[in-house]
Amino acid sequence: MIDLRSDTVTLPTEGMRAAMAAAEVGDDVYGEDPTVRRLEERAADLLGAEAALFMPSGTMANQTAIACHTRPGQEVVVEAGSHIYNVELGTMARFSGVQPRVVLGERGVFTAGQVVSAIRPDLYYLAPTGLVCLENTHNAAGGRIWPRAEARAVLAAAHARGIPVHLDGARIFNASATTGIPARELAQGFDSVMFCLSKGLGCPVGSVLCGSRPLISEARRVRKAFGGGMRQAGFLAAAGLYALDHHVDRLAVDHAHARLLADGLATLPGLSVLPPETNIVLFEIETGPDAETLCARLRARGVLASPAGAGTSARGVRMVTHLDISRAGVERTVDRVREELRASGV
């Protein structure tokens, strides 16, 4: 199978497995796991933060940040296609007692002016704005990179009004690989930043939340309340350290494969392909089966892909390149899609 459903499907490399097997561990709930501590120190340094906290998942990291920044009854400004809004099960309402204030961006990117319009005026009968959230890269927008100037403008607008800003940086290292801007510069100015180890970096589990020392101290309490306290987590943290040492620079390979895939798909009849900025390829089926049908038929041909997801067209398909996808796998994928379109009469 050529599995292009997500970059979360990667398997640990032999080097990563060896690092995990050799990890020094302790009880992290007591703060005694030395490998977890090393990962947190390394992550904070890479993102230019005072402190960091190892988390089981990106969703928990995002929701922990929301819980730390807000109080019940507030609103959180989010983009309409964002991961936090669409696929985190309404957790901000369920656990933090806050509601989303949705802004429709241009391919996942909203402007500072839109943020200012979304911030509630100081009237006693309106829910006050407690937080603004950005996503870089933007998953549902096809791995879109937030323009640095626009991110800075949003940060300035929110901070001028005393509102913190959280960055869902699940794939921030993908953004860095494309732009050449270090991750710490992309994270600069945000009050908290989350990044995933279990996506393009190829780890089996884990994300990291970065921020100030007081924020991370509170996040440790919230993580425990959410059920995210882990014991001998150094085995997993060792995978994270290995990934930061060995898998960051190679993200450029995934991006090259995504461009190759997009270029190949663009030659096929009946498809409209969005040029990828990072490792996510989105295309629309203009003529032929809908996305669910095409993905089911591709599975029978040995290729796993996904409908584009929440808030997108029923004819949109998403394919994600990662460290387990080779150039040959990309070329075979284009061939299988071509065969299926022909079989469908396109």
pLDDT of residue 345: 84
What average pLDDT score do residues 264-292 get? 95
**Residue for token pair 């009968």:** 125
pLDDT for residue 138: 97
Rg of the chain over all Cα atoms, to the nearest angstrom? 20
CA distances from 130 to 92, 93, 194, 251 (A): 12, 13, 18, 34
Region 316-333: what's the mean pLDDT? 97
- pLDDT, residue 183, reads 98
Mean pLDDT of 190-197: 98
CB 321 within 8 Å of CB 258: yes
Task: Write the Ramachandran bin of 160: left for phi over 0, alpha for psi from -120 to 50, otherwise beta.
Answer: alpha
For the chain, residues classed under CATH 3.90.1150.10 are 250-343
Q: Which fold has domain 14-246?
A: Aspartate Aminotransferase; domain 2 (3.40.640)
pLDDT at 311 over 70: no
How many secondary structure helices (H) and strands (E) does the chain include? Answer: 14, 13
What is residue 318's three-state secondary structure?
A: strand
Residues 124-129: what's their mean pLDDT? 96
Q: What is the DSSP letter of 29?
A: G
Write down the pLDDT at residue 307: 94
Delimiting residues of CATH 3.40.640.10 domain(s) in the chain: 14-246
Taking only the tens place, the pLDDT of each residue in 144-163 is: 999 999 999 999 999 999 99
Q: What is the pLDDT of residues 81-94, one digit of tens each?
A: 999 999 999 999 99
Task: Give the integer Cα–Cα distance in Å for 176 and 291.
Answer: 31
pLDDT digits (tens, 9 = 90+) for 21-46: 999 999 999 999 999 999 999 999 99
CATH for 250-343, among 3.90.1150.10, 1.10.150.120, 3.40.50.150, 3.20.20.100? 3.90.1150.10
**Tens digits of per-residue pLDDT, 198-215?**
999 999 999 999 999 999
Can you give the pTM of this predicted structure? 0.96
pLDDT at 310 over 70: no
Q: How confident is the model at residue 314 (pLDDT cuts 50, 70, 90)?
A: confident
Q: Give residue 145's pLDDT.
A: 98
What pLDDT does residue 346 have? 76
**Span 295-319, mean pLDDT?**
88
Mean pLDDT calculated for residue range 115-135: 96
| pLDDT at residue 312 in the model | 63
pLDDT of residue 288: 83
What whole-number percentage of the chain has pLDDT above 70?
99
Q: Could you count the other beta carbons within 10 Å of the beta carbon of residue 78?
A: 27
- Mean pLDDT, rounded, of the chain: 96
